[in-house]
Amino acid sequence: MTLHLFDTATRSLREFTPLIPGRASIYLCGATVQGEPHIGHVRSGVAFDVLRRWLQANDHDVAFVRNVTDINDKILDKAAEAGRPWWEWAATYERAFDHAYDTLGILPPSAQPRATEHITQIIELTQRLIDTGHAYASEGNVYFDVHSFTAYGALARHNPEDLQQGENLGEGKRDPLDFTLWKAHKPGEPTWPSPWGPGRPGWHVECSAMATSYLGAEFDIHCGGMDLLFPHHENEAAQSHAAGDGFARYWLHNGWVSLGGEKMSKSLGNVLSVPNMLKKVRAVELRYYLGSAHYRSMLEYSEQALDDAAAAYRRLEAFVRKVDDAEGAVSPGKWTYAFAAALNNDLAVPKALAEIHNLVTEGNKALAEKDTAAAAEIAGQVRGMLDILGLDPLNPHWDHHANTPAAHHALNVLVAAQLEQRASARASEDWPAADRVRDRLAAAGIDVTDTPDGPQWTLHQQ
């Protein structure tokens, strides 16, 4: 089996063939550090962390670069409104994003470049575009001449005449569709020296400069949210190709998280921050929720969907822990054919999770039949596959980030003991005793549901 990925540029499922055999180079558009990270921000981190883990599991040496946009209009505006230095504002929320990524078990990138650390590379790329006739300087600004590049609009499949850049007309701009590579200095803003006068970089040129600085003029995969397809990724592709770089060979885009049918964004005021979400569920359960839908699909947020995802993960966790407690250490095993086929088909995580849940059903049946050897083998497979998804319940990372009140593992052990008493009572047809256990758990805020795989429990939502 070989990995196939849906390439946005060709709108087709393509076999992944890396530029260098055995190696994979990936650039992910990271955070613009203007405020607290919400689940819409970190969904891309979860989605493409699975891609990275799967490539590594299949013996690829992965170079994974995730940038930080630490200077732009929004950061400057928000810092000014708060009366704080722009650099301190950006650093504060960069740390918040790093903490969110780490809490959700997202592997640290191979490199995490900041835009402000790559002014030299940005200026060099801008000058190359001027030299090739694809950009022009005017009144201290530099703009990309969209009409000079005939392939503009190919990535997003848009007619350039129907598009807007979403930026101000700007001093000296020849055409509203042209976009800014270098912004002339304005009073009160940070500046860097350049051949065109003091100023700061535009947003789009930052990513092209950082990606090629770390991964080369041509690299394998460029990832990011679907909301970045235009104008950001279209402009990245245009300026990079115009400068003579091969740039990304595959483009992958994840769907956004929506609330009430609308994309989550600060402007809509419907933000669900990661810290607030971690008051509702554990970090591993939030990761399960964010990664459980196909990465290209829209994920409609609801409290019920979050609760259902948390309960589904606890079912998998309970099985692995039960076998581990009973049989000793369960080592991660090899994934099944169905699991591998699912991930090789454009990272079809829902199908991969369905395979894991089916195995857990078999494993619980083996436990019920006292077939401990079969249960242990299945638990190893389950643990190995969950590890690929970043969800291995026995990974010490999740103990370190046990963010729910009073360590969930201890609660899980206590509830499991109560449920075993209830099962014994039911087996001997002592129904009053079984009911007393259930009532006792209900009084503690724990709901019990009997399923074909045995009783499952959830914390009652007030």
Examine the pLDDT at 409 and tell me if it is beyond 60: no
Span 253-278, pLDDT tens digits: 999 898 877 776 665 555 689 999 99
Here the tokens at position 258 are 């929506």
**pLDDT band at residue 29, thresholds of 50, 70 and 90?**
very high
The class of domain 4-268 in CATH terms is alpha beta
* DSSP conformation letters of 111-134: B--BGGG-HHHHHHHHHHHHHTTS
Task: Give the integer Cα–Cα distance in Å for 89 and 119.
Answer: 20
State the chain's mean pLDDT as an integer.
91
Q: Which residues contact 27 (CB under 8 A, 6 or more apart)?
A: 65, 66, 67, 207, 210, 211, 214, 215, 219, 221, 222, 223, 248
Q: Whose structure tokens read 């964004």?
A: 265
**pLDDT band at residue 405, thresholds of 50, 70 and 90?**
very low
The class of domain 302-404 in CATH terms is mainly alpha
Here the tokens at position 338 are 């169905």
**pLDDT band at residue 449, thresholds of 50, 70 and 90?**
confident
Among residues of the chain, what percentage have pLDDT more than 70?
93
Phi and psi, residue 222, nearest 5° = -115, 125
Q: Amino acid identity, residue 455?
A: P
- Please report the pLDDT score of residue 325 as a whole number: 86
Q: Amino acid identity, residue 410?
A: A
Q: Are 160 and 175 in contact (CB under 8 A)?
A: no
- Please state the rounded mean pLDDT for residues 187-194: 95
- Please report the pLDDT score of residue 266 as a whole number: 61
Q: Specify the pTM.
A: 0.86
Distance of CA 460 to the CA centre of its chain: 29
Q: Whose structure tokens read 């009084």?
A: 443
Which segments of the chain belong to CATH 1.20.120.640?
Answer: 302-404
- Please report the pLDDT score of residue 403 as a whole number: 57
Span 329-361, pLDDT tens digits: 789 999 999 999 999 999 999 999 999 999 999
Q: Are 203 and 122 in contact (CB under 8 A)?
A: no
Span 49-67, pLDDT tens digits: 999 999 999 999 999 999 9
- Please state the rounded mean pLDDT for residues 424-440: 85
- Please report the pLDDT score of residue 458 as a whole number: 66
Task: Give the integer Cα–Cα distance in Å for 48 and 255.
Answer: 12
Span 363-401, pLDDT tens digits: 999 999 999 999 999 999 999 999 999 999 999 999 876
Examine the pLDDT at 461 and tell me if it is beyond 60: no
Q: Are 255 and 296 in contact (CB under 8 A)?
A: yes
**CA-based nearest residue to 339, from 12, 58, 6:** 58
Which of 30-44, 135-149, 399-413 has the least mean pLDDT? 399-413
- Please report the pLDDT score of residue 462 as a whole number: 40
Task: Give the integer Cα–Cα distance in Å for 317 and 335.
Answer: 17
Task: Give the integer Cα–Cα distance in Å for 459 and 462.
Answer: 9
- Please report the pLDDT score of residue 427 as a whole number: 83
Which segments of the chain belong to CATH 3.40.50.620?
Answer: 4-268
